[in-house]
Amino acid sequence: MADDTIFARILRGEIPCDEVYRDDRCLAFRDVAPQAPVHVLVIPSEPIESLRSAGEEHEALLGHLLLVAARVAKQEGLEDWRTVINSGAEAGQTVFHLHVHVIGGRPLSWPPG
């Protein structure tokens, strides 16, 4: 459940993070296992397990997360970056609290994985 994850513990201040942005709806912090020179996670304050479990009531929040991802990328000096949302274990989701990866600072290939 999303309210019992490591991200929920970070949101509650039980685990420290390298915060780069916070507002009343989300938190952005550096990934502890970065896959590029810039690797920031943007997580909603609300415990939503994944994108597939989000509902229409989350429409504004989902848009906000993407706008914050762009803001963070620019704040980190990126002109080009990738945003990734994994939904489900087979897609690579390891923490079941919705999060947006902001990845950049090096050339990124396609397809990933």
Residue of 39, 97, 99, 101 marked active site: 99
How many alpha carbons lie under 13 Å from residue 74 in its C-beta half-sphere?
6
Active site annotation includes 101 = no
CB 78 within 8 A of CB 104: yes
Write the CB contacts of 75 (distance below 8 Å, at least 6 apart in sequence).
20, 21
Residues noted as catalytic: 99
